[in-house]
């Protein structure tokens, strides 16, 4: 499960969880999306939100991916 990718390709998505099933993904995303709906900045995209909230770090180059 990857999170944090940039809508315009400016950021790579980062692994948040590995080897998760569809029901697990839905269970992970449900509270995260609720949190996003309640606490996002105006115009903030989901990828930016998960980085701001610390779910995953921002990855702007392939050299940073495995850090």
Q: Tell me what pLDDT residue 11 has.
A: 93
Q: Tell me what pLDDT residue 66 has.
A: 74
**Pick from 34, 1, 26: nearest CA to 16:** 1
Query: In angstroms, rounded to a whole number, what is the distance separating the alpha carbons of residues 11 and 19?
Result: 23
Q: pLDDT for 20-59, tens place per residue?
A: 999 999 999 999 999 999 999 999 999 999 999 999 999 9
Residue 61, pLDDT > 90, answer no
Domain 2-61 class, CATH top level: alpha beta
Query: In angstroms, rounded to a whole number, what is the distance separating the alpha carbons of residues 42 and 23?
Result: 30
Tell me the domain boundaries of the chain.
Answer: 2-61
Query: In angstroms, rounded to a whole number, what is the distance separating the alpha carbons of residues 29 and 60?
Result: 23
């Amino acid at each position: 499960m990857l999170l944090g990718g940039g809508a315009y390709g400016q950021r790579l998505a980062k692994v948040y969880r590995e080897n998760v099933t569809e029901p697990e993904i839905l269970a992970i995303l449900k509270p995260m999306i609720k949190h996003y709906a309640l606490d996002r900045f105006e115009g903030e995209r989901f990828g930016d939100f998960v980085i701001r909230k610390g779910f995953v770090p921002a990855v702007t180059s392939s050299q940073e991916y495995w850090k």
